[in-house]
Amino acid sequence: MRLYLDLGNSQLKWGLRQEGTWIRQGRLPLKHLDQLATEWRNLPPIRAAHGVSVAHPDLRAQVEHACLALGQAPCWHSSKPSEGGICNGYDNPAQLGPDRWMALQGAWQLQHRAALVVMAGTATTLDSLDEKGHFLGGMILPGLTLMRHSLHQSTAHLPAIAQGTYTLQARSTQDAIQSGTLAATLGALKLAREALSQKDCRVPVFLGGGHHAELSPYLEAPLHVYPELVLEGLALLLEKDQARI
């Protein structure tokens, strides 16, 4: 049984997996990492821990300490020039966030075809993968919560909103903020998808991240939703390598 970790900008996502099946998965805000030992108290024995991290080294050290209590030091993975059948098209391949690299791995290992890989978390990333497994590049924009928080923090009168109704002709400030932030994200997604698609063939979107449920109702098929796409990619990549041994 292996433990997989995705230490992000605001949460730790983790999953316990055995023989290609997720046994347990969980999420924990970074501010509550001191509760990780308690959360993992009843986990069965693990034989390895693997993860990716974009968080501060001090936070990674907290996760490592909790893993050591389970008897395993985690192996942290980074982006490579090529791996798992994907060629990394970044000018500096090592600069690509490891979470984005593993989300790309998830899409490619699940379906060996062109895809737009969307991770909707603290930031929203839109990454393009062609039919030969070449990562062509991508975009980063503020996540939905970050956009809304920025409007509230940087203006005198715009409220912090918990929810609203999406409409292109909003008649309340709350709905206008909800609609504007969603439309900005969906517009960028549409442009990225159109640039990658063939004339009569829309590429699939692989969608993950904490805001996946907000975006998915507005996305046309083919759409594949994997809330923990980073963990999926990390697990599938390592299982593929293991099968070769």
Domain count, the chain: 2
| Mean pLDDT across 188-197 | 96
Q: Are 107 and 208 members of one domain?
A: yes
Residue 156 lies in a domain: yes
**Counting every residue, how long is the chain?**
245
Q: Are 113 and 182 members of one domain?
A: yes
Residue 44 lies in a domain: yes
Beta bridge partners of 120: 124
Of the candidates 58, 55, 45, 71, which has an alpha carbon nearest to the alpha carbon of residue 5?
55
Q: What is the CATH number of the domain that holds 61?
A: 3.30.420.40
Question: What is the pLDDT of the chain when averaged over all its residues?
Answer: 95
Q: Are 71 and 89 members of one domain?
A: no
Please give the Cα distance from 178 to 46 (Å, whole number).
42
Q: Are 133 and 24 members of one domain?
A: no
**pLDDT score, position 245:** 43
User: Which distant-in-sequence residues (6+ apart) come within 8 Å of 162 by Cβ?
Assistant: none
| Mean pLDDT across 194-214 | 92
Q: Are 127 and 188 members of one domain?
A: yes
pTM recorded for the entire structure? 0.95
**pLDDT score, position 241:** 77
- pLDDT tens string 84-143: 999 999 999 999 999 999 999 999 999 999 999 999 999 999 999 999 999 999 999 999
Tokens linked to 133: 């497994």
- pLDDT tens string 144-171: 999 999 999 999 899 998 789 999 999 9
Asked whether the beta carbons of 82 and 89 are under 8 A apart, the reply is no
Catalytic residues: 99
Residue 243 lies in a domain: no
- pLDDT tens string 229-242: 999 999 999 998 77
Could you list the residue range(s) of the whole structural domain that residue 15 is in?
2-76
**Residue 224 — pLDDT band, cuts 50, 70, 90?**
very high
Q: Are 67 and 100 members of one domain?
A: no
**pLDDT score, position 243:** 62
Torsion of CA 186, 189, 190, 191, to 10 degrees: 130
